[in-house]
Amino acid sequence: MSETQPEQNLPAEAAAPESQPVFARRAGMWSSGAGDTSGYGGLRRDLAMPGRSEGPFGEPHDSVLGRALEVIPALRDARVLFDRDELTIYVPREQLTDVARQFRDDAFLRFEVCVSVSGVHYPQETGSELHVVYHLLSYTHNRRVRLEVTCPEEDPHVPSVVATYPMVDYHERETWDMFGVIFDGHPSLTRILMPDDWKGHPQRKDYPLGGVDVEYKGAKVPAPDNRRSYS
């Protein structure tokens, strides 16, 4: 006897996100000009940033976005990206603290945890080169969403959300350390990975490839700019 399978409510298929114009063409697995030992030397890729996504995206993403637009008017013209079953909402940086608090406190949204804060550097995005991404998790509803803000290199300021999510204290420090984003209102914005007197922010795309030799047990690992070239 065969068992009757329950009818499933499959999410509506969302359209693929639009792409902005190609900003670079890459050869090989790594950046052009570097020694490529991956076996992908003939690979050619066009690089473009994603644009906007249009729903429906399926649940719970449509409900999360709908509720956010209902209770946070500042997001009504916000860019939304839906890719690989993940929802990202772009937030004006001056609205970030209010938006984060609403995502935490609203009973329907209830994203109690900010799992991580990630910095990204896109030099080709004039006026918004630095991005900060907040990965939120709802224990109550078992779902995730991302908030993303941008700022220019000339004005790398973003409000701190430590008052709303105390666990991001170290994450904001790391993003400052690696990318140079200044989190206004952070209780102690100091370096966390690099020495206090280190110059620059090592994960920016324009940071020079260099470093210091590392010695251990009689062996020496040369700095990246002094390693053997395979080209």
Per-residue pLDDT, 164: 97
Q: Within a domain: residue 165? A: yes
Round to whole Å and give the CA distance between 170 and 116.
9
Q: Within a domain: residue 99? A: yes
Give 207's pLDDT tier (boundaries 50, 70, 90): confident
Q: Within a domain: residue 4? A: no
Q: Within a domain: residue 219? A: no
- Tokens representing 126 are 């004039």
Q: Within a domain: residue 16? A: no
**What pTM value is reported for the model?**
0.80
CATH for 149: 3.30.460.80
Give 91's pLDDT tier (boundaries 50, 70, 90): very high
Per-residue pLDDT, 22: 80
pLDDT tens column, 22-36: 877 877 765 555 555
- Tokens representing 163 are 């008052």
In this prediction, residues 2-7 reach a mean pLDDT of 44
Q: Within a domain: residue 75? A: yes
Q: Within a domain: residue 109? A: yes
Q: What dihedral do alpha carbons 61, 162, 133, 94 form, nearest 10°?
A: 90
Give 10's pLDDT tier (boundaries 50, 70, 90): very low
Q: What DSSP assignment string belongs to the chain?
A: -PPPPPPP-PPPPPPPPPEEEEEEEEESSSSTTS---SS-TT-EEEEEEE----S---TTHHHHHHHHHHH-GGGTT--EEEETTEEEEE--GGGHHHHHHHHHH-TTT---EEEEEEEEE-TTSTT--EEEEEEEEETTTTEEEEEEEEE-TTS-EEE--TTT-GGGHHHHHHHHHHH--EEET-S----SSS-TT--S-TTSTTS-S----EEETTEEE--GGGSPP--
Instruction: Please check the confidence at residue 221 and state whether its pLDDT lies above 60.
Output: yes
Q: How many domains does the structure of the chain reveal?
A: 1
Instruction: Please check the confidence at residue 228 and state whether its pLDDT lies above 80.
Output: no
Contact status, residue 70 vs residue 121, Cβ threshold 8 Å: no
Mention every residue, 6+ apart, whose C-beta is less than 8 A from residue 171.
Answer: 114, 116, 117
Q: What's the domain range around 101?
A: 54-208
Q: Is 39 exposed, middle or buried (0-12, 13-18, 19+ CB in 10 A)?
A: exposed
Q: Within a domain: residue 138? A: yes
How high does pLDDT run on average in the chain? 85
Which amino acid belongs to residue 229?
Answer: S
Give 40's pLDDT tier (boundaries 50, 70, 90): low
Q: Which residue has the higher pLDDT, 217 or 101?
A: 101
